[in-house]
Chains A and B, each alone.
Chain A
Amino acid sequence: MTALNPDFAEEMMKYGEDTALACFNCGTCSAICPLLHDHFPRKLIRYIQIGAKDRILENAAELWKCLHCGLCTQTCPREANPGEIILSLKRMAVENWRKS
């Protein structure tokens, strides 16, 4: 059971992207992503939406699989900029490591 944390999406704004909630979970990004990896990147965007920050940090290494190739951003029908969101998550993770 996970309780939702709506504050995390707002916290993410300071790392560059405020479009995570624009995503309507269609999965286009995961279908086009060359990584072909476990709902990447939609899964992480969904984790922002529900505020699962801990889970993102626990598996932060996953983020660096992203090539920042931009195919997902190019094809997202909601212009939610998924690739840029992943980049923002990297920034968030780096800052967290440095703080700890």
Chain B
Amino acid sequence: MYRPRDIIETIAGNLRRTRNPFGIPNTLVNRWWKDADLPKNGEALLFTGLMYQFVPYIETATGYLAKFEDTPWAEYLRYARWAPSTLSGLGLALITPGRDKRKFNRTLQNIARILTASRASFYYRPELDQYSGVLLYDLGDQKTFENHAHWVARRLTSAGVKKLITVDPHTTYALKELYPKITGAHFEVTPYFEKIRIPARKTDRTVTLHDPCFYGRYLGLSDVPARALAALGIQCRKVEQSGAFTHCCGGPAESISPKLAGEVGGRRLAQLSAPGAPIVAMCPICLGNLRKLGADVEDLSSILAENLAA
């Protein structure tokens, strides 16, 4: 286990300096839109919150952290501030494989295609699409989170943004529940799967859905994706813990203790594997952690996108 204090101060420092928790310039991280032809005007701003874009970097960084956890090197990390120099900034960007980055870009492109096919009125402006800061909230650094949230909210409001379409549960929760309380800015926040209106194709696919904590419990939304799949003729198998009682994937622990994240995730993976159908997640943290445990997990968006390619 790593000293939370070191991790928090590193992330907080990065976020303050670069608006990015890893200290990597957002322009370098957020490139998925370049090959997609996205509308510049519309009703709602597609707000990815950059979480999907971060996953490859988190995987690389935690991969290194995992290697040294519970070894004398972990202590070294603390003194040498190894984390800031190696696990942040351009260093991290360079050691992160491009293949992984492209995989997650594809996810976001799928989501844009689904929205277009559903005739949702949306637009994208990369300079408005910022990280929500929710990790700092979860880590208990309320001050840094609040400062960052004010900055993001101001940017959005001064650009006249009123409606947001989100793609992951953490960003959705932050914008929907935390921002109004902290910044006073009220956006109409809708996860993309609430916008789906695509015609069903004949299919006998069956999947196992992993409800993320924030959709299943905090926001009470887990029946929406299941209904969206059912509308397409895709069956969902029952999981031991789901909906309001869903079981965490373990991902949130990975920056502090990759080992713990693995233990918790392993228990969840056992539950998800029991029904024997392909596992589908809808949160970049869940995807990352479950895949790291060797599971073959697909993102909800790719299942939905399959139905588009008619």
Contact = CB atoms under 8 A, between A and B. Distances in A.
A90 B253 contact: no
Tell me what chain B mostly uses at the interface: helix, strand, loop, or mixed. Answer: helix
B7 to A, nearest CB: 8
B247 interface: yes
Contacts of B244: 74
Contact of A63 (B140, B141, B218): B140
Contacts of A71: 213, 217, 245, 247-248
B217 A65 contact: no
A89 B142 CA distance: 11
Interface string A37-64: 0000000000000000000000011011
Contacts of B119: none
B138 A68 contact: yes
Contacts of A90: 139-140
A65 B3 CA distance: 11
B217 A35 contact: no
A69 B139 contact: no
A34 B257 contact: no
Interface stretch (A3-11, A23-31, A91-99): A91-99
A65 to B, nearest CB: 6
A94 B141 contact: yes
A61 B1 contact: yes
Nearest to A87: B140
A67 B218 CA distance: 13
Contacts of B264: 34-35, 67
B2 to A, nearest CB: 8
B250 interface: yes
B5 to A, nearest CB: 6
- How many residues of B sit at the interface, in one of the four size bands? 20 to 34
Contact of A93 (B140, B217, B248, B257): B140
Nearest to B251: A67
Contacts of A69: 213, 217, 247-248, 252
Given A64-B256, A71-B217, A34 B1 contact: no
Contacts of A16: 142
Contact of A61 (B3, B138, B143, B218): B3
Nearest to B260: A65
Contacts of A97: 5
Interface string B137-161: 0111111000000000000000000
B173 to A, nearest CB: 10
Interface in B212-261: 213, 217-218, 244-245, 247-248, 250-253, 256-257, 260
B267 interface: yes
Given A34-B264, A35-B264, A61-B1, A67 B248 contact: yes
Q: Which of A64, A75, A87 has the most CB of B within 10 A?
A: A64
Nearest to B140: A90
A70 interface: yes
A70 B3 CA distance: 23
Contacts of B120: none
Contact of B213 (A35, A64, A70, A75): A70
B4 A34 contact: no
B77 interface: no
A34 B267 contact: yes
Given A67-B248, A70-B218, 10 more contacts: A64-B140, A64-B253, A67-B252, A69-B248, A75-B245, A87-B140, A91-B140, A91-B141, A94-B139, A95-B143
Interface of A: 15-16, 34-35, 60-61, 63-65, 67-71, 74-75, 87, 89-95, 97
8 contacts: A64-B257, A65-B1, A65-B256, A67-B213, A67-B251, A67-B252, A70-B213, A71-B213
